[in-house]
Structure 1
Amino acid sequence: MGSEANTRLADLFGLTGWSKGELARLVNRHAAAMGHPQLATDTSRVRRWIETGESPREPVPRVLAALFTERLGRVVTIEDLGFDRRRQGGKKKTGDGLPWPPERTAAVLTEFTGMDLMLNRRGLVGASAALTAGTVLSAAMYDWLHTDPALAADAPVLDDPLSADPAAQDLYEAVPVGAQEIESLEHSVEVFRAWDASRGGGLQRKAVVGQLNEVGGMLSYRHPAHLQRRLWGVAANLAVLAGWMSHDVGLEPTAQKYFVIAAHAAREGGDRPRAGEALSRAARQMVHLDRPADALDLMRLAASGSGEQALPRTQSMLRTIEAWAQAAMGRDQEMRRTLGEAEELFAADRGDLPTPSWMQNFDEADLHGMQALAYRTLAEHDPSAAVHAQAHARRALELRGGGHERSVIFDHLSLASACFIADDPEQADSHARKALTTIGQTSSHRTWDRLRQMHTLTDRYAALADIQELRREIEAVLPKQKPAKGEVKSAPATTAPQDIAVPKSRSARTRSV
């Protein structure tokens, strides 16, 4: 029995509106349906979980996670409830137990995706109450990311391949796999990645999460080292995609969790540059949410944690994200210097080493697209930067190949916004209309966010007939903003200080990639 109150459980319990007796009855009913009719939880037991920190035995934590997930309309894991099944001594961890020990990564992955899929099936997918601050993630994961995992790439040694934590593994579906199956999984990642780049994350997110859930089950086995590393690579790639697709449709805390899972999976597979890229996605998310300081904290971790294995092109990509965050803070000289470093690193990549699959979308077009976004963001602080944003956006559009329709929309929106800032409404109108012609073919909420942002720039030109018509067309295309199902209106008073509430609506300065 513990001696301290479980504040995480208390906070979530307060949001449900249940009484302790009601929760006890729900636990017993749900456990019986799972094949545990002998369970007899009562009000006093629930009180001990909350007030003294007592940790219930399995299957109760699993049952509680499922009940809270359904009630709140967002993924709630066992760790979120304050139950750490394998408490680690020594180093302090965050409320989410970061970083996880190697043997927990597959279990956390499978449990989280399972809850996510359950919400999808029941139509309850919604936004969580909070994101973890970038400083908290960086502090928790710095030492862990900078050390090489001992035997982590080979997975934990299990006497029985089915002896992995039953609270998070689907024992009936997890099977060992061979090289051909892993090759098929790697191919599926490429298919999902191409779809996301073209159409946005909304339509395929559930499929990616389901595939990731399957891979989590596979990782419960001890495969030969070379196969296990490839499986961890698949898990990292799918987790990044799941996170990016979640971010693309506005499920921000869910996205952040997937990025952290991806970093863990990449490190277990011995791929530190991949772990750094996963964290850079979380940084891009922070800039989008108008939290550039958090983004810079994460970028320092991503850049330093990538290690010497990171190719110049990978380092160039990381610099562009750092520059975007600096631009959002109005740091003109720092941003220009960082973009200069990005250009030099990109040019230094001779292509003599194979480019990892997860970096293949960062080509010269994307380099210019990110530079356009950085300068366009800086133009909010210094309008003279708009001319540079226009030049880079035009170059990005010249270089874009097929299959990157979402990026083309972003380029047109960056260009149109820069033209409005530079007092060229005629050119702005032209590029805004080009974005409007295809924006309805994607499921990306981020394109809508950027369109809303551009719409605010039309205010000063509202007297012009063409701009009046453009504004009407934009307003007709934009979906009505509604709170997501399950969105928590406010955090309880006892919420830990590292939990930062997600804005309920995008400001006029919301940014996106």
Structure 2
Amino acid sequence: MASSTVTPPRPNRPSRPNLAFRHLRGQRSPAEFAALVRRAAREIGERVSCDARYIGRVEAGEIRCPNYAYERVFLHMFPGRTLTDLGFAPRSSVRGRGARAPEVTPGARTTIPAHLTGEARGAGETRGAYEPYDTQNPYDTHHNDEESDVLRRAFMTGGGAAVAAVSLGPLGPLGFTADAVAAERRVRPVGAREASALEEAVRRIRLLDDRHGADGLYRRAAAPLRAAYALLDAGATRQATAERLHSGAGELAISVGWLAHDSGRFEDARSHYAEALATARMTGDQALEAHAFCNTAFLARDAGRPREAVRAAQAAQRVARPLGSPRLMSLLALREAGGWAGLADRAGCEQALIRAQALFGQGSRDDDPEWMTFYGEAELEGLEAQCWSTLGDWGRAARHASRAAELQDPHFTRNIALYTAELADDLARGGRPDEAATAGLRVLDLLDQVQSSRVQGMLDGTARVLAPHRRASGVSAFLERHTSAASAPGERQRVPAPRSA
């Protein structure tokens, strides 16, 4: 890797808030506005992974000028306006300033990764895989670095799952491994650059899971997790950076735990969630602790331990209450409802569902946890469908699952497959085999993009229920396609999903 030696930069000037862009967002939450940006991108053939934190960075003035993909999307959303009208600096005024310099110790020599040198770009603007909120289009001619070539080849030869695998570097875009962390420490202390890389690794894992499912990602994610804890061992020079590292490592442990969870590796997931919980308690991070308990409750439900699911969800609510996020409390109430359903306690489940709906109705807040961007009306409907399914109320479960699939943003391919698989199973068990087969075929159409043992296990269960109804309309076609998919060469052994999944 090429490197260059630079002198420490002058302290950055404080960013000026982008009030024009904030005005354009209006009454929408950052997450809701980010969804509009993604939708506008699809309308013009762009692919951006805008989220609430990106909108926050724009409004805070951290991104003085967006990259080319975002520029095209914003100008499409607000026709007739220029970047200046949207509150950004002209591209010509920020050209040549380079990316923000990493945190350094005065007088220290700094090694800059090769892919951060080269083409000049606007302050706060990045390109290629280093853009924390932009998913590369393999055919985008604006990105001509080495990783774009790898992505392009993977896209052309291996489909979506291959793109996911090569997109997830050892630790986000900076390519750190545990050994590399030790080598970097000899050059300079751990600082903001490493904390940012860790946070980016978490975002990338979540994004790739949304689109492709967990199976192809889990083992790739082990390396960034090892590197994250190596960073903690190395230590940071500033308390604020140390707190970011601990939070980032805990969130990464949860993300990797979810990949294990969704691919049927329940014991691995339990270990990762416990690691995140320990990290949260060591540092007094209530938000991280609530997240760890939230996922622990979900895992306990899926693993057939409903009483543990209730206890973990209630613990999460106690920790999360001071955080002031109704949406978070709503999700945690749904986790509790899932546990009560597993205990066949219909009254307890209904009470938790009513509480979840009321809290959801209070709306989103600017300070809702970043990891909760997935939790919208579609997820609310999907989780309620799972509760009714566990209680054996197939008709009500099917109605909620159908609504979840209809409401889901197309960005979340994996969730569309999950909700539709839930719908197929509910219809099959509710005595509507022809409709179940139609829904099952829709899921099979998505399996070239999604690798999730949870979804595959649900389809396996649906196929078993539909087998006696082979003569019903469409059922034979579904069973034949399902059998063909199950016997495809190279497919990993499927882990049966629990009925409540």
TM-score (norm 1): 0.57
- CA deviation vs aligned residue, 1:415-453 (integer Å, no higher than 9, x gap): 112222332222212111101111243221111111122
- Correspondence for 1:189: 202
**How far does residue 308 in structure 1 lie from its aligned partner after superposition?**
1.6
> Root-mean-square deviation (CA), in Å?
2.9
The separation in 2 between residues aligned to 1:215 and 1:239, in whole angstroms, is: 9
- Correspondence for 2:343: 329
**How far does residue 401 in structure 1 lie from its aligned partner after superposition?**
1.1
Q: How many residue pairs get matched? A: 320
SS of match in other structure, 1:401: coil
**1:371 partner amino acid:** E
**How far does residue 304 in structure 1 lie from its aligned partner after superposition?**
2.4
Q: Pick from 381, 395, 412: which aligns with 1:404?
A: 412
1:224 aligns with 2:232: no
The separation in 1 between residues aligned to 2:353 and 2:237, in whole angstroms, is: 43
- CA deviation vs aligned residue, 1:190-244 (integer Å, no higher than 9, x gap): 1211001111123232343212222212212143221111111110111011101
1:442 aligns with 2:453: no
**How far does residue 367 in structure 1 lie from its aligned partner after superposition?**
1.0
- Correspondence for 1:108: none
1:313 aligns with 2:327: yes
The separation in 1 between residues aligned to 2:244 and 2:195, in whole angstroms, is: 7
Q: Alpha carbons of 1:432 and 1:186: their partners in 2 closer, same or farther (altered >3 Å)?
A: same
The separation in 2 between residues aligned to 1:206 and 1:173, in whole angstroms, is: 24
**How far does residue 505 in structure 1 lie from its aligned partner after superposition?**
6.5
**How far does residue 324 in structure 1 lie from its aligned partner after superposition?**
1.6
**1:462 partner amino acid:** R
Q: Pick from 388, 405, 413: which aligns with 1:375?
A: 388
- Correspondence for 1:414: 422
**Contact persistence 1:273–1:307 (CA under 8 A):** no
Q: Which runs of 5+ in 2 are unaligned?
A: 1-178
- Correspondence for 1:252: 266
- Correspondence for 2:316: 302
The separation in 2 between residues aligned to 1:307 and 1:340, in whole angstroms, is: 18
**Contact persistence 2:438–2:474 (CA under 8 A):** no
**How far does residue 460 in structure 1 lie from its aligned partner after superposition?**
4.5
1:474 aligns with 2:482: yes
Runs of 4+ with deviation above 4 angstroms: 168-175
**Contact persistence 1:311–1:349 (CA under 8 A):** no
The separation in 2 between residues aligned to 1:445 and 1:425, in whole angstroms, is: 23
SS of match in other structure, 2:307: helix
Q: Pick from 378, 400, 404: which aligns with 1:392?
A: 400
The separation in 2 between residues aligned to 1:439 and 1:322, in whole angstroms, is: 30
**How far does residue 277 in structure 1 lie from its aligned partner after superposition?**
1.8
**How far does residue 251 in structure 1 lie from its aligned partner after superposition?**
2.1
**2:500 partner amino acid:** R
Q: Alpha carbons of 1:287 and 1:475: their partners in 2 closer, same or farther (altered >3 Å)?
A: farther
The separation in 2 between residues aligned to 1:183 and 1:472, in whole angstroms, is: 48
**Contact persistence 1:205–1:245 (CA under 8 A):** yes
**1:356 partner amino acid:** P
The separation in 2 between residues aligned to 1:176 and 1:396, in whole angstroms, is: 47
- Correspondence for 1:292: 306
**Contact persistence 2:384–2:400 (CA under 8 A):** yes
Percent identity of paired positions between Structure 1 and Structure 2: 23
Q: Alpha carbons of 1:479 and 1:326: their partners in 2 closer, same or farther (altered >3 Å)?
A: farther
The separation in 1 between residues aligned to 2:348 and 2:430, in whole angstroms, is: 22
Q: Which runs of 5+ in 1 are unaligned?
A: 1-167, 380-384, 486-503
The separation in 2 between residues aligned to 1:417 and 1:445, in whole angstroms, is: 15
**Contact persistence 1:450–1:511 (CA under 8 A):** no
The separation in 2 between residues aligned to 1:169 and 1:272, in whole angstroms, is: 31
- Correspondence for 2:151: none
**How far does residue 269 in structure 1 lie from its aligned partner after superposition?**
4.0
Q: Alpha carbons of 1:387 and 1:355: their partners in 2 closer, same or farther (altered >3 Å)?
A: same
- Correspondence for 1:198: 211
SS of match in other structure, 2:318: helix
1:267 aligns with 2:281: yes
- Correspondence for 1:511: 500
Comparing 458-467 and 289-298, the one that deviates more: 458-467
**1:437 partner amino acid:** D
